[in-house]
Amino acid sequence: MAERMARRLSWITKLGSELKNLIWKVCMGNIAIYNEVTAIRRTLSPRMSSSLDEERFILEDAIGRVCPVHLRFITSWNAFDAVLDIRFKDKVGHDKVQQREYTLQEHATCREIDRSIDWEDAFIPGQKIDMSLIFKEHSPEKASNNLSSCPRCHAVSEMPVESEVQ
């Protein structure tokens, strides 16, 4: 019986030693892979190593189109305005876009984006931005009953004038 227990103890010790060696080999393999990946990253140019997808925000424009705005490509308010002008050409709202009669809001917080802020500081990569066109009501009878209507089709909204309507 003691001999049988000694054999089992020897077998368990050998198994533990083999397991330790296997774990050591896996760790060394992981370190080798890590070093190779690090070397590959160092050889890539900085432009290639960070993806453009990481530096963009999502814009939902005033007519419901969703598109990414790449912060490495659009680098100023003037460039952004030019792109919007092109995107709205021959579309509803083009005149409003040309006159800069629109507002941008951060979707999650409804915080308005201040155009007086530098372009680089106005947006955070990954955020969603909603665009709305600004319409000014000039009709005193509609303003008095506190209802608004669509400037295009003139459908009356039951929402108050101050509210946002899609």
Q: How far lies 146's CA from each of 40, 143, 155, 164, in Å?
A: 64, 5, 14, 13
Looking at residue 126, its pLDDT comes to: 87
Nearby residues of 112 by Cβ (< 8 Å), 6 or more positions away? 103, 104, 105, 106
Q: Please give the average pLDDT of every successive group of 10 residues along the chain, which has 166 residues.
A: 88 91 90 84 59 76 91 92 93 91 91 91 90 74 55 64 59
Nearby residues of 89 by Cβ (< 8 Å), 6 or more positions away? none
Q: How far apart are CA 101 and CA 97, in angstroms?
A: 6
Looking at residue 66, its pLDDT comes to: 93
